Amino acid sequence: MRAAKLRGNQQLLRQRLESLEGRSYREYKSLKGLYEFSEFELSIDYVQGDPFASPSRIRVWISQQVAEFPTHWLIDYAAQIAIADYLTRQVAQVAQVLAPKSGSGKSGEIAIAPTSQAILRRTAIWITTEGIEARLTVGLPAWGRRIAGNAAAKLLCEIIPQLVSQGLKYKSLEAKALTRHVQTFQDAEALRSQLEPNGLVAFIAAGACLPRRSGVDERSLTQDADPFVLPIESLSSEPQTDSCITLQTPHSGPVKGLGIPAGVTLIVGGGYHGKSTLLKAIEQGIYNHVPGDGREQVVTHSAAVKLRAEDGRSVVGVDISSVIDHLPKGRRSDWFTTTNASGSTSQAAGLVEAIAAGAKVILIDEDTAATNFMIRDRNMQTLIAKEKEPITPFVDKVRQLYEDYDISTILVMGGSGDYFSVADTVIAMEDYQPRMVTQRAKAIAQADPMQRRTEGGQGFGKINQRAILPESIPSGKADRLPKIKVHRHGLMLGYEPIDLSAIEQIAETNQVRAIAQAMLYAQRYYFDEKTSLGQILDSVMSDIARGGLDSLATGLSPDRPIMSGDLAEFRRFELAAAINRLRTLKVGSIS
């Protein structure tokens, strides 16, 4: 907060605003700077040029002498994240009551970056033992194109103090709800940390509510949702002991659930019986969820990556020869490049890219996979000779992936039994309830007289590392940074659109914005002909771990960093996915 220039106190700001009544809107610009209020500091960082432009940005800093959060809560990093997340939601609610959207544009509105079901570290609010910083946007009030100075004075000098008081002081919060938020987060962290020691890649607690309200509403389905139950053995009604596991949590004690072991796991079952819903919950188990979400105790290995077919995407210089070789017309598969991938080649490229980025678990749903990438049955093997089929189906690669690279796979596959023989674990979903059917599936596979020939060859094959060249991202006008625009399913870097609609593990738009900044940051500091994408990801992620998400802005414009409140933490995999989808990507090979 110290960065901004001190301009005066609350009274001065009020007088200044009142004196601007009726003046040209642009004169709001003169307000930039820091103001001391009785209980906090207000920094006006960016002033919008007109009433319809994106709103102005302000920051509020309140010390712990005033906020009064119990110190013992704040020494824990996990608790800091959870409290900041809670406060962000609290401020959003209070702001909606105190300063709702009214009139034209965003005039008179106070807002904080919108959240999702995930508890994430964001730049909207950060809390330490010293104090709390909150970053908000305000639509500075206008009459047409004139300043509504009295309304602005009320907004900044009366409503903001109320917002601070009701939204950021410990005394005004519901202690129980806050405690639950923090404890839910800490429990989920504890559960996830027990996955690897127990040989698991995912855990679904009994009682979890997995279905969502709708395809566009990530909140928990409340009516007619069947809670997740412990799996039973296919032929008995007793809970199956080796898949039911008890993990420990600091606040809820022992928690029983289904543990999905490392290796190859198959989720089978009839249509509409809850297979995809289970996989989706696993996919999102990389995040900790808010109380009431239903998936608070569903946790997944943090390097689990959802993979799907994405025909039409661009691919640059990816060695997909381990799964697709001998492309027609002599097209190279060890340096596969296309502006318009097919279903199977997009999925192959996605797989190799995920491995190169360090994925440890691959998640695939038949609903969104390319059939010819996944399977090739006996009859088709007979009709089309191996030499005429470039694709080695994933069924012949999935075990090698585990054995050679220690990468597990969880697969939803209701339509083909070909995976029975390569799976370590088979879970059948029936009426939304899991059953363990591994033994039966194995027996069926062994008894099959028409077994298919395996085509996988000796091993999975090598994964190439590519250097990312600096010219991959075109610079903006007059060599300035390209403008960033984001939405939930993609972004624009200057005039370059990047489609992220197939990246299903992005939880909220704040992450997309942070990814966009991270791409520009990576370009400035790490893109060159010698550094692999894997190393670039290491460097960017460790810079963020050390300096926070703000280090992106500081790195991009050291003189005038924009301290925006709408960034959220993201994983290396989603950053890699965005870089790999740049249509202007230029890569070099690294030997």
Q: Which among 267, 297, 208, 280 has a CA at the least distance from the CA of 435? A: 267
Q: Is 88 in the site for ligand ADP (CB under 6 A)?
A: no
Subset of residues 349 to 388 that bind Mg ion, contact rule: CB under 5 A = 367
The entry of Mg ion, ligand ADP, none that residue 509 binds, CB within 5 to 8 Å by partner kind: none
Using CB under 6 A, pick the residue from 121, 135, 192, 273 that binds ligand ADP. Answer: 273
Nearer to ligand ADP, 152 or 208 (CB): 208
Nearer to ligand ADP, 54 or 222 (CB): 222
Strand partners, 485: 492
The entry of ligand ADP, Mg ion, none that residue 432 binds, CB within 5 to 8 Å by partner kind: ligand ADP
Stretch of residues binding ligand ADP (CB under 6 A), selected from 10-18, 136-144, 218-226, 525-533 = 218-226
Nearer to ligand ADP, 272 or 495 (CB): 272
Strand 146-147 to strand 118-119: parallel, antiparallel, or no bridges (unpaired)?
unpaired
Nearer to Mg ion, 275 or 360 (CB): 275
Q: Is 274 in the site for ligand ADP (CB under 6 A)?
A: yes
Tokens found for residue 162: 């109320």
What is the rounded distance in angstroms from the CA atom of residue 463 to the CA atom of residue 348? Answer: 12
* Identity of the amino acid at 570: F
Minimum gap (Å) between residue 169 Cβ and Mg ion: 47
Q: Is 277 in the site for ligand ADP (CB under 6 A)?
A: yes
Using CB under 6 A, pick the residue from 29, 100, 272, 451 that binds ligand ADP. Answer: 272
Nearer to Mg ion, 238 or 367 (CB): 367
What is the rounded distance in angstroms from the CA atom of residue 56 to the CA atom of residue 62? Answer: 20
What is the rounded distance in angstroms from the CA atom of residue 236 to the CA atom of residue 124? Answer: 51
Minimum gap (Å) between residue 546 Cβ and Mg ion: 41
Minimum gap (Å) between residue 412 Cβ and Mg ion: 6
Q: Is 275 in the site for ligand ADP (CB under 6 A)?
A: yes
Nearer to Mg ion, 77 or 272 (CB): 272
Q: Is 284 in the site for ligand ADP (CB under 6 A)?
A: no
Minimum gap (Å) between residue 367 Cβ and Mg ion: 4
Q: Is 70 in the site for ligand ADP (CB under 6 A)?
A: no
CA 325 to chain centre: 33
Size of the site for Mg ion (CB under 5 A): 3
The entry of Mg ion, ligand ADP, none that residue 272 binds, CB within 5 to 8 Å by partner kind: ligand ADP
Which CA distances in Å does 232 have to 195, 276, 279?
A: 21, 20, 19
Subset of residues 416 to 455 that bind ligand ADP, contact rule: CB under 6 A = 429, 432
Q: Is 300 in the site for Mg ion (CB under 5 A)?
A: no
- How many beta carbons lie within 10 A of that of residue 346, not counting itself? 25
Q: Is 210 in the site for ligand ADP (CB under 6 A)?
A: yes
Packing angle between helix 572-580 and helix 343-356, nearest 10 degrees? Answer: 130
What is the rounded distance in angstroms from the CA atom of residue 426 to the CA atom of residue 436? Answer: 6
The entry of ligand ADP, Mg ion, none that residue 211 binds, CB within 5 to 8 Å by partner kind: ligand ADP
Minimum gap (Å) between residue 274 Cβ and ligand ADP: 4
Tokens found for residue 21: 């009544």
Minimum gap (Å) between residue 301 Cβ and Mg ion: 22
Helix or strand run (H / E) with residue 61: strand 56-63
Q: Is 226 in the site for ligand ADP (CB under 6 A)?
A: yes
- How many beta carbons lie within 10 A of that of residue 429, not counting itself? 23
SS3 433: strand
E-strand stretches of 262-399: 264-269, 288-289, 298-300, 304-307, 315-318, 336-338, 361-365
Do the beta carbons of residue 428 and residue 258 sit within 8 Å? no
Do the beta carbons of residue 95 and residue 161 sit within 8 Å? no
Nearer to ligand ADP, 273 or 360 (CB): 273
Q: Where are the alpha helices (DSSP H) in 169-274?
A: 175-193
What is the rounded distance in angstroms from the CA atom of residue 544 to the CA atom of residue 147? Answer: 39
Stretch of residues binding Mg ion (CB under 5 A), selected from 9-17, 268-276, 518-526, 534-542 = 268-276
Q: Residues, the chain, total?
A: 591
Stretch of residues binding ligand ADP (CB under 6 A), selected from 50-58, 273-281, 346-354, 440-448 = 273-281
The entry of ligand ADP, Mg ion, none that residue 226 binds, CB within 5 to 8 Å by partner kind: ligand ADP
Site string for ligand ADP, 9-48 (x = CB under 6 A): ----------------------------------------
Minimum gap (Å) between residue 224 Cβ and ligand ADP: 6
Using CB under 5 A, pick the residue from 88, 116, 184, 276 that binds Mg ion. Answer: 276
Minimum gap (Å) between residue 368 Cβ and ligand ADP: 11
The entry of ligand ADP, Mg ion, none that residue 397 binds, CB within 5 to 8 Å by partner kind: none
Strand partners, 435: 232, 428
3-state helix, strand, coil split of the chain in percent (to 5) is: 35, 25, 40
Q: Which among 552, 494, 551, 542 has a CA at the least distance from the CA of 518? A: 552
As a whole number of Å, the CA-based R_g of the chain is 27
Using CB under 6 A, pick the residue from 211, 343, 390, 461 that binds ligand ADP. Answer: 211
Nearer to ligand ADP, 98 or 221 (CB): 221
The entry of Mg ion, ligand ADP, none that residue 307 binds, CB within 5 to 8 Å by partner kind: none
Q: Which among 329, 350, 328, 353 has a CA at the least distance from the CA of 341? A: 350
Tokens found for residue 270: 């009839």
Which CA distances in Å does 68 have to 172, 554, 566?
A: 10, 30, 25
Nearer to ligand ADP, 100 or 270 (CB): 270
Do the beta carbons of residue 434 and residue 257 sit within 8 Å? no
Using CB under 6 A, pick the residue from 271, 328, 330, 558 that binds ligand ADP. Answer: 271
Residues that bind Mg ion (CB under 5 A): 275-276, 367
Residues that bind ligand ADP (CB under 6 A): 210-211, 224-226, 269, 271-277, 429, 432
